[in-house]
Structure 1
Amino acid sequence: MQPTDTQRADLKETVRLEEVRRLYGKGDRAVRALGGVTAGFRAGTLTAIMGPSGSGKSTLLHCAAGLDRPTGGTVVIDGTDLGSLSEHGLTLLRRERVGFVFQAFNLVSALTAEQNVALPLRLAGRAAPSELVRAALAEVGLADRAGHRPSGLSGGEQQRVAIARALITRPAVVFADEPTGQLDTRASRQILGMLRALVDDHGQTMIMVTHDPVTASYADRVVFLADGVVVDEYAGTVTAELVAARMAALETAS
């Protein structure tokens, strides 16, 4: 039986990595950060990337997002092979089709929340209508904080601004690097619930690096790295206890 159009859409991969390798240095001093990673990330899903310190999590995210060029293999985002792009082409792709959420928020301190959210559009030379920007802030529960600078916002509120900024260009994929790493438990749960809702309600594709089993439990799928290669993955019902046990085993073996 042939899959329906809906099933085909469900199976579409927004990001695809094939035998991605990344070496730092040359010759005998070369260090392998990634040793041939093949993985696909389906549209409208949240994937958590986990592994012991030095396993290659951040390198994988940087290569997958076009922030770093792999030594070998291919990375495809939304149908575009990143290896075929010049540095300028990569910059344009990141501006137009990739969103980023970082642990440190990375907001511009001199700009208001509204101005921070509008920044990706302005950098891309596009119009940033106030109503569009304010709608993005309203979507993350900050309609009344548009005029506040980062210093006047809590950590959780700053991360919400960062999420609105990441989504303002309607990206094909959002990469999140330890998005709750600087937040307390309550703020972390709010942010994770918001990310989950963006996936479930808006079909946003997200790839998230985390070391926290509770954070990973919000994902549809958890991919485990060790020594620069994929060693395991869980999908479906993912619990913090299950993830913690697998991480403990990996850390013991490393």
Structure 2
Amino acid sequence: MTTPMLAIRDLRREYDSGPSLVTALDGVNVDLAAGTFTAIMGPSGSGKSTLLHCVAGLDRPTSGEVTVDGVRLGDLDETGLTLLRRERIGFVFQAFNLISSLTAAQNVALPVRLAGRRLSPSEVTAALDEVGLGDRARHRPVELSGGQQQRVAIARAIVTRPAVIFADEPTGALDNQTSHLVLGLLRDLATSRGQTIVMVTHDPMAAAVADSVLLLADGRLVDRLDGASAEAIAARMARAESTC
């Protein structure tokens, strides 16, 4: 069998809430293959953001195990997790998180520079070309549209050739047309480049672009939809929300 790019085993995350514990994740198990695009959905409070944070090494689970590209996160100390996130994981968030005083090219290169390394100009240019912004390298965020800023953020995420890109509501601040362009870019990264992408979204239209949709409810994985339409995803979400 092919080793999964992302393996999640019996993942639990509990939070101390005064006299009781709140269970955000309750025994999640799933394997995600390399080169796949997976959407995570669920009602508010279902645990989808907590799952993303735990599998991306941003939060420590209470128990269970996460393996990313053959590396067990539980075996790493904080320094090891920082290095893993820096070298093997890319992040795209709803907020573009670009530095306003820097050009697009400088924003793409910034995380690597902060890590004490340098990218060649050709590497930065290649990343911007890949998201269709090679001609905007010298533009600052204020000179770019929202969709272009998010594409710069995607270029920043892919420039180190990470094993996995984690995207948290990447189209949440964009209009429908721009969202379609950004989702098409993520889809193409998975299809053409074999990039593994995991995306949290509340939008069935966005989720339908993915290969699979993982549906969470009350911290549990309750369904997995493969190749589903936006209508089918929305109907399944409605059923999940009605039981919460």
The alignment's TM-score, normalised by the length of structure 2, stands at 0.97
Q: Deviations over 1:180-203 (max 9, x none)?
A: 000011100100111000000000
Give unmatched runs, 5+ long, in structure 1.
1-7
1:250 aligns with 2:240: yes
Post-superposition shift, 1:233? Answer: 0.7
1:127 and 1:107 map into 2 onto residues whose CA distance is: 18
Name the stretch that deviates more: 157-166 or 120-129: 120-129
2:65 and 2:213 map into 1 onto residues whose CA distance is: 21
% identical equivalent positions: 62
Give unmatched runs, 5+ long, in structure 2.
none
Post-superposition shift, 1:27? Answer: 7.0
The match for 1:209 is: 200
Number of equivalent positions: 244
CA contact (8 A) 1:120 1:168 kept: no
The match for 2:127 is: 136
Name the stretch that deviates more: 123-132 or 83-92: 123-132
User: What amino acid sits opposite 1:79 in the alignment?
Assistant: G
Alignment of 1:49-88 (within 5 A): 49-88=40-79
3-state SS, counterpart of residue 5 of structure 2: strand
Q: CA RMSD in A?
A: 1.1
Q: Deviations over 1:29-54 (max 9, x none)?
A: 21110011111111000000000000
3-state SS, counterpart of residue 30 of structure 1: strand
1:18 aligns with 2:9: yes
3-state SS, counterpart of residue 19 of structure 2: helix
2:236 and 2:223 map into 1 onto residues whose CA distance is: 9
CA contact (8 A) 1:224 1:233 kept: yes
Q: Deviations over 1:207-231 (max 9, x none)?
A: 0000000000001000000000000
2:212 and 2:165 map into 1 onto residues whose CA distance is: 15
Q: Deviations over 1:2-26 (max 9, x none)?
A: xxxxxx5xx4311111001001116
The match for 1:44 is: 35
The match for 1:178 is: 169
3-state SS, counterpart of residue 39 of structure 1: strand
Q: Deviations over 1:141-192 (max 9, x none)?
A: 1111111111111100000000000001100000000010000111001001
CA contact (8 A) 1:178 1:208 kept: yes
Post-superposition shift, 1:126? Answer: 2.0
3-state SS, counterpart of residue 173 of structure 2: coil
Which runs of at least 4 in structure 1 moved beyond 6 Å after TM superposition?
A: none
Alignment of 1:186-201 (within 5 A): 186-201=177-192
1:165 aligns with 2:159: no
CA contact (8 A) 1:121 1:168 kept: no
Name the stretch that deviates more: 45-54 or 25-34: 25-34
Post-superposition shift, 1:28? Answer: 3.4
User: What amino acid sits opposite 1:60 in the alignment?
Assistant: L
1:225 aligns with 2:216: yes
3-state SS, counterpart of residue 25 of structure 1: strand
CA contact (8 A) 1:198 1:204 kept: yes
1:100 and 1:83 map into 2 onto residues whose CA distance is: 20
1:240 aligns with 2:195: no
1:204 and 1:131 map into 2 onto residues whose CA distance is: 20
The match for 2:82 is: 91
1:12 and 1:197 map into 2 onto residues whose CA distance is: 23
1:150 aligns with 2:141: yes
The match for 1:4 is: none
